[in-house]
A and B are shown apart, each in its own frame.
Chain A
């Protein structure tokens, strides 16, 4: 079975400082990895994904994520946080193989950027 862990329920960061939202995963074989963001009373918006190749993936709104196979991690990062980045962030994993389709999500991390 595949699973995702987001060890921090909440992350607080000062505006302008770098931010990191942590994610580790468990899946058989190589993974597809995704980050989504959810603003209050909204659905989830896709930020970025890792498929193959370069371990550093760049996505929307200046976010990036680093895939680390040995640590089974896919941490979300941004060099300089904005107050508008405050939201709920979800990491998700999908395995590879015939019929793989189910996206498994973590419990989410609430990011608060303090002015």
Chain B
């Protein structure tokens, strides 16, 4: 596709349930990022994938959060046993390899835990 695609755009879940958020990056982009944006806050880095290298998981806030990237393309962010504080917009971005390259963002998934 022309841009980064995220699904679903909105997700309402009950506290304690597991959720999966999907990101389809721009074709050919080897780098993929997940960020979290809470109301009134900036972007919080969660995880980074680059090609076949081991992902940088240093931003994941707890072991309830995990992410994988299959075949170097689509990525899934999984949140287990969701809590109300997980409510936020989850943004995915992709870029070509290189330090000076900009990242292109998807529209985000708005997660609401009730």
Looking at the assembled complex, report how far the CB atom of A9 sits from the nearest CB atom of chain B, in whole angstroms: 9
The interface bits of chain A over 33-72 (1 if a CB of B lies within 8 angstroms of the residue's CB, else 0) are: 0101000001111100101000000000000000000000
B98: nearest residue on chain A (CB-CB)?
A101
Q: A45-B105, A105-B42 are in contact. List 15 more A-B contacts (CB 8 A).
A: A36-B105, A43-B91, A43-B106, A43-B107, A46-B102, A46-B104, A101-B31, A101-B50, A101-B56, A103-B103, A105-B35, A105-B43, A106-B42, A107-B42, A108-B42
B interface residues with partner A (beta carbon < 8 Å):
4, 31, 33, 35, 41-43, 45, 48, 50, 56, 91, 93, 99-100, 102-108
Interface size on A, residues (CB 8 A): 24
A-B contact count (CB 8 A): 49
The interface bits of chain A over 72-115 (1 if a CB of B lies within 8 angstroms of the residue's CB, else 0) are: 00000000000000000010001111001111111110000000
Report the separation of the CA atoms of residues A43 and B43 in the bound assembly, to the nearest whole angstrom: 11
User: Do A107 and B33 have beta carbons less than 8 Å apart?
Assistant: no
A49: nearest residue on chain B (CB-CB)?
B102
A34-B102, A49-B102, A101-B48 known; A43+B4 contact, CB < 8 A: yes
